[in-house]
Amino acid sequence: MRYLVVALALAGVACGTSARDETAAVSPAAATTGALHEVQMLVTPEGAYIYQPAALDIKVGDRVRWLNVSGGPHNVAFYENGIPAGARDVLNTAMADRMGDLTGALLFEPNAAYEISFAGAPAGTYEYFCTPHEMLGMTAQLTLSR
């Protein structure tokens, strides 16, 4: 009986690994070969809601990870008129768990992260904001080059 339990446990682990590998193979981030950049989402000691850095230069194929440091919930939402032509579909595909068009999920937990791959995205300036804190000035931009 003990051998049967061990065999079933090993089979479950093997199946779980296979399923994860297949999922990873189709995720947008898996196709990325560029650098990983981090942007912190936080409230300063003075009470300002910010992305740090507020301006970021990246290359096509890079990934950006936004990290909820303090003052959440935070998210990343791109201005429809603040992205290059042809970027909408690429972003919507690369943004997991979207709340809406060009709008990423809210991060409630400290140190929660949201990552977007810019593989296949058109070069240009991408302006974005935090949905709950836009009116408090939580906006930023990244510049994507080839």
| CA pair distance 90, 77, nearest whole angstrom | 14
**What is the mean predicted confidence (pLDDT) over 39-51?**
97
| CA pair distance 6, 139, nearest whole angstrom | 53
Q: Is the pLDDT of residue 4 over 60?
A: no
| CA pair distance 79, 59, nearest whole angstrom | 20
Q: Do residues 49 and 136 lie in contact, with contact meaning Cβ atoms separated by under 8 Å?
A: yes
Q: Is the pLDDT of residue 131 over 50?
A: yes
Q: Which of 84, 91, 140, 99 is nearest to 115 (CA)?
A: 91
Strands, E, within the chain: which ranges? Answer: 36-43, 49-52, 55-59, 63-68, 77-78, 113-117, 124-129, 139-145
**What is the mean predicted confidence (pLDDT) over 31-53?**
91
Residues 6+ apart with CB under 8 A from 37: 56, 58, 62, 63, 64, 65
**What is the mean predicted confidence (pLDDT) over 16-38?**
49
pLDDT exceeding 90 applies to what percent of the chain? Answer: 76
3-state secondary structure at position 128? strand
> Model-level pTM?
0.77
Residue 33 pLDDT: 65
